[in-house]
Amino acid sequence: MKRRTFIKSTALGVGAAVISNPLLIKAAAGQTNINNEFPIAIASANGIRAVDKAVEMMNDGSDAIDAVIKGVNIIEADPDDMSVGYGGLPNEEGVVELDSCCMHGPTHNAGAVASLRNIKHPSQVAKLVMQRTDHVLLAGEGALRFAKAHGFKEEDLLTDKAREVWLYWKESLSNKDNWFTPGEEEKIPEEIRKHFGITGTITCLGIDKQGNISGVTTTSGLAFKIPGRVGDSPIIGAGLYVDNEVGACGSTGRGEENLKNLTCFLIVEFMRQGMTPTEACMAGVKRVVLNTKIKSLIDEKGKINYNVSYYALNKKGEFGAASIYGPHEYSININGKGELKKADFLYENKN
């Protein structure tokens, strides 16, 4: 277990156990897009190329929904990002299963796919669910058939690197099975071990030149999950939420806790009540921490043993992000070149 030290408390010096009402706690001031310059795009830290692509497209007149999806397509196709699309870490049986959703502010419409296998760009399929059906979420075999009906070709999404990480994980699960353990856990190369138990993901939100807001979230989900496990990323309100009159929020990190709190919806509602995006994200973080009661999610020192992160922007173009553990960064592009900015966080994560 990593040693984690509580140091930064925007909860005015109190620990997770005594946070009483996140609604009453003010976090640091949000980042301001002083000139209200549009277009802008915000994404998780792995999304610099996504925000650059999205802003480039919106500058050329694209609707934000098309722009943010084209942005995350770059990461879905990148085998080196092992939390999204092609090259994502597989389920416990070695099969890559992808989740994604998108939401279009002007129409308040949404589409999603869950447990989709063999299709590199689940976000594109999610957009087709939104645009070409009156459903919101297709899962598993039905989602695959729908994708193929629209001309998507099946591909093996498991790269050699992801297979190798999965195999190490499988071999080190137990010394009571027929798989030889490759060594003590500390002997597993750090390059491999760092991928155990991750919940990566990319989320990207944008405001186009018309001032309309859209967003997308896409992921390979929890590494080595039970086949069929669906996280927060394809669930509207959990992994993404957009209200064109207020703003948008997307999330990365442990999906189960977002599912139980519908945190992205909550954060947009916090912004509706007047919080800045950073304040709203931090209030969402505190709500999740407050609602964490399951013993397996709390270490022997009483600290939360997982992370979630939120990224938000509002109608004015203000933006921000917050996570349980930091330091943590996010990608932002205000009508120019993407850069990484530091997100707010509750606790410092010391490895």
Binding residues for ligand GLY (CB under 6 A): 199, 201, 219, 221-222, 231-233, 252-255
Instruction: Compare residues 10 and 219 and give the one whose CB is closer to ligand GLY.
Output: 219
Q: Say whether 217 is catalytic.
A: no
Instruction: Compare residues 206 and 255 and give the one whose CB is closer to ligand GLY.
Output: 255
Determine which one of 159, 199, 201, 278 is catalytic. Answer: 201
Instruction: Compare residues 31 and 217 and give the one whose CB is closer to ligand GLY.
Output: 217
Instruction: Compare residues 10 and 201 and give the one whose CB is closer to ligand GLY.
Output: 201
3-state secondary structure the chain: CCCCECCCCCCCCCCHHHCCCHHHCCCCCCECCCCCCCCEEEEEHHHHHHHHHHHHHHHCCCCHHHHHHHHHHHHHCCCCCCCCCCCCCCCCCCCCCEEEEEEECCCCEEEEEEEECCCCCHHHHHHHHHHHCCCCEEEHHHHHHHHHHCCCCCCCCCCHHHHHHHHHHHHCCCCCCCCCCCCCHHHCCHHHHCCCCCCCCEEEEEECCCCCEEEEEEECCCCCCCCCCCCCCCCECCCEEEECCCEEEEEEECHHHHHHHCHHHHHHHHHHCCCCHHHHHHHHHHHHHHCCCCHHHECCCCCECCCEEEEEEECCCCEEEEEEEECCEEEEEECCCCEEEECEEEEECCC
Least distance CB 256 / ligand GLY (angstroms): 7
Least distance CB 228 / ligand GLY (angstroms): 13
**Do 216 and 75 touch, CB atoms closer than 8 A?**
no
Least distance CB 201 / ligand GLY (angstroms): 4
Least distance CB 275 / ligand GLY (angstroms): 23
Instruction: Compare residues 122 and 253 and give the one whose CB is closer to ligand GLY.
Output: 253
Q: Which residues are catalytic?
A: 201
